[in-house]
Amino acid sequence: MITKIDHLGIAVNNLEESVEYYEKALGLHCHGREEVASQKVKTAFFEAGDVHIELLEPTSDDSPIAKFLEKNGEGIHHIAFAVDDIAGQLKQASAAGVRLIHEVPFDGAANKLVAFLHPKSTHGVLTEFCMPKK
């Protein structure tokens, strides 16, 4: 079951400059930074009420975020739903004909298991499911 929107992922060219915008212009507090090796990104997290903002800067040219920036420039990259059963949620999406980018969840930021649905089968929105690791 989807329990809430966990975060919005935003692709940026420069994490430091973007963090400054969110802190100074919006007054949000950066409460975590992390490098996620599996996705070749550096991340910074902000809290906006119950929803997090996840800034993503690629650490390598072959990072999925580098490819996104090349194609689209900076902007909203994905929406992430918190789920209580990530395997079951993937199974449900797959049974409904959705193309999965990851059949098997992997380690994402903030000590969570994550998996993505392909935007070609989600009406244009790269969709992430995330669940805290037990």
Cβ at position 112, least distance to Zn ion in Å:
9
* In contact, 7 and 52? CB cutoff 8 Å: yes
Binding mask 74-113 for Zn ion (x = CB under 5 A): ------x---------------------------------
The nearer residue to Zn ion, 9 or 64, going by C-beta atoms, is 9
E strands in the chain = 2-11, 30-36, 41-48, 51-58, 75-83, 106-107, 112-117, 127-132
The nearer residue to Zn ion, 49 or 130, going by C-beta atoms, is 130
Q: How far apart are CA 14 and CA 89, in angstroms?
A: 33
Residue number of the CB closest to Zn ion reads 9
* 9 touches Zn ion (CB under 5 A): yes
